[in-house]
Amino acid sequence: MQTAAQSQSKVFMPGKIGSLELRNRTIRSGCFEGLCPGAAPGEALIEHHRKVAAGGIGMTTVAYCAVSQDGAAFGREMWMRSEILPALCHLTDAVHREGAAVAIQLGHCGFFANRSVIGKTPIGPSRKFCLFRYSICRPMTEDDINRVRDDFVKAAQMAVAAGFDAVEIHAGHGYLLSQFLSPWTNHRRDEYGGSMTNRLRFPISVINQVRAAVGPDFPVIIKMNTEDGFPGGLTIAEAVQAAKSFEEAGASMLVPSCGFTARTSFYMMRGNVPIREYVKTEKNPVTKMGMVLFGRLIVREFPFQPLFLFDQARQIKDAVKIPVACIGGVCSLENMDKALNNGFEFVEIGRATVRDPAVIRKMQSGEITASDCDHCNRCVAAMALNGVSCVSEISGLLQS
Q: For residue range 232-285, list pLDDT tens digits in order.
A: 999 999 999 999 999 999 999 999 999 998 888 888 888 887 766 655 655 666
pLDDT score, position 285:
64
* Over residues 173-189, mean pLDDT: 97
- C-alpha 145/C-alpha 352 separation (Å) is 37
**Phi/psi of residue 196, nearest 5 degrees:** -65, -35
CA 40 to mean position of chain CA atoms: 18
Looking at residue 241, what is its pLDDT? Answer: 98
Q: How confident is the model at residue 143 (pLDDT cuts 50, 70, 90)?
A: very high
Check residue 400 and give its pLDDT: 35
Percentage, residues of the chain above pLDDT 70: 88
Q: What pLDDT sits at residue 100?
A: 98
For 263-273, the pLDDT digits (tens) are: 888 888 888 87
What pLDDT is recorded for position 388?
Answer: 77
pLDDT digits (tens, 9 = 90+) for 68-104: 999 998 878 899 999 999 999 999 999 999 999 999 9
Which segment of 74-78, 160-164, 194-198 scores lowest on mean pLDDT? 74-78
SS (H, E, C) 66-125: ECCHHHCCCCCCEECCHHHHHHHHHHHHHHHHCCCEEEEEEECCHHHCCHHHHCCCCEEC
Specify the pTM: 0.91
Q: Which domains, and CATH codes, for the chain?
A: 4-399 (3.20.20.70)
The residues carrying an active-site annotation are 175
pLDDT at 101: 98
| Average pLDDT of the chain, as a whole number | 90
222, 168 Cβ separation under 8 angstroms: yes
- Indicate the Cα dihedral angle 205, 209, 210, 212, nearest 10°: 140
Give the pLDDT of residue 192.
Answer: 98
Whether the pLDDT of residue 398 is over 60: the answer is no
> Residues 125-141: pLDDT tens digits?
999 998 777 789 999 99
